[in-house]
Amino acid sequence: MRPESGAYGAVEDGVVAIDGSTITWAGAAADAPTRLLSDPAAEVDAGGGWITPGLMDVHTHLLFGGTRADEFEMRLTGIGYEEIARRGGGILSTVRATRDASDDVLESRAGARIDHLSAHGVTTVEIKSGYGLDLEAELRMLRIARRLGEGRPVTVRTTLLGAHALPPEFAADRGAFVALVCEEMIPAAARGGLADAVDAFCEGIAFTADECERVLRAGTAHGLARRLHADQLSDLSGAELAARVGARSADHLEHTSEAGVRAMAAAGTTAVLLPGAFHFLSETHAPPIDGFRRHGVPMAVATDLNPGSSPVASPLVAFNLASVLFGLTPEEALSGMTRHAAPVLGMERTHGVLASGFTADLAVWDVDRPAELAYWLGANPCRSVVKDGIVVR
């Protein structure tokens, strides 16, 4: 997945040498230094398959209570996502279910989702809060998310998404809730080491651009990276906001304008594409993919695994949807969960490519061509997973 090495950075008949948790060499077997291959402690034969960097799912909401299958049925009768939210469904229905669920239930069910992603080649996953919407419930979600990464062959990064929806108890005082997020949630999460980043939902059914900017700048003040749900259902200049505050990513982006694309390019902000939500909500206005290509905006791809708008539990399904619905090439889709995903989590110096000095997170695939990772729908050709230099699957 090194861009200077041709399509996919492909190496036929290749070798990856690992010492401890670090790649010490990667390239053609014929070029491998003899000293690295002369007496290995262990050797794994990929059997003619392909080795890629471990996949990185950089946008999920996989920690939640309940499901929203009932809303899925409602949408099939013609009731829209925004109307369901205004009726008290949507995010707030998951908030109620999450608040009511025990820690054990939340951890068990989210753990099963992570294990499923891991079996499909994922070695790094981001988990957002945002289904608690009060101080203790949000911190509780972040604590559980941190625990999910313990004892599993997956690196977990956590994001505080306190500004996900306006909880009913603050319906008459939006300002007080935004203040709660900025003045209590963010400082507490940062102080406790519970969050790596802060996020907000900039949308008509959620929070204004001004409110989101306040949240993101509060995150900056407490040393947290910035992310933003931007321009999903309408253009509120979320992409420009993400660029202005130095966000690592703007996510969704179906309605992003040319000005937003240019701002992201100038700021080095990654576009995180979430084709599962686009598909599941039957959207028709796709993100400006050609604009991102034209201006050199990196495109990551993620599952957006959540109960309401993207119950997508497979990175390979996300590859397929990104290719079929958004027109990404299979190479762009795979880059979106490797090379272009790593900077979204601040891991670009250690993850996302197979190169000397990088972390030995690998996935081994029983495919003849890398394009098959986006081609097969519903199959799982992942033969093996290596995490931190250890074969874990």
Q: What are phi and psi of 362, to 5 degrees?
A: -135, 155
∠ CA 304-305-306, rounded to 5° = 105
Q: What is the pLDDT along the chain (393 residues), one digit of tens a residue?
A: 988 878 899 999 999 999 999 999 999 999 999 888 888 888 999 999 999 999 999 999 999 999 999 999 998 999 987 888 878 788 999 999 999 999 999 999 999 999 999 999 999 999 999 999 999 999 999 999 999 999 999 999 999 999 999 999 999 999 999 999 999 999 999 999 999 999 999 999 999 999 999 999 999 999 999 999 999 999 999 999 999 999 999 999 999 999 999 999 999 999 999 999 999 999 999 999 999 999 999 999 999 999 999 999 999 999 999 999 999 999 999 999 999 999 999 999 999 999 999 999 999 999 999 999 999 999 999 999 999 999 999
| Cα gap 55→123, rounded to integer Å | 6
In the CATH scheme, what is the homologous superfamily, with its name and number, of domain 3-52+352-391?
Urease, subunit C, domain 1 (2.30.40.10)
Tell me which residue of 275, 278, 277, 233 sits closest to 256, measured CA to CA. 233
What topology is assigned to 55-345 in CATH? Answer: TIM Barrel (3.20.20)
3-state secondary structure of 258: helix
Domain ranges of the chain: 3-52+352-391, 55-345
Q: Are 215 and 197 in contact (CB under 8 A)?
A: no
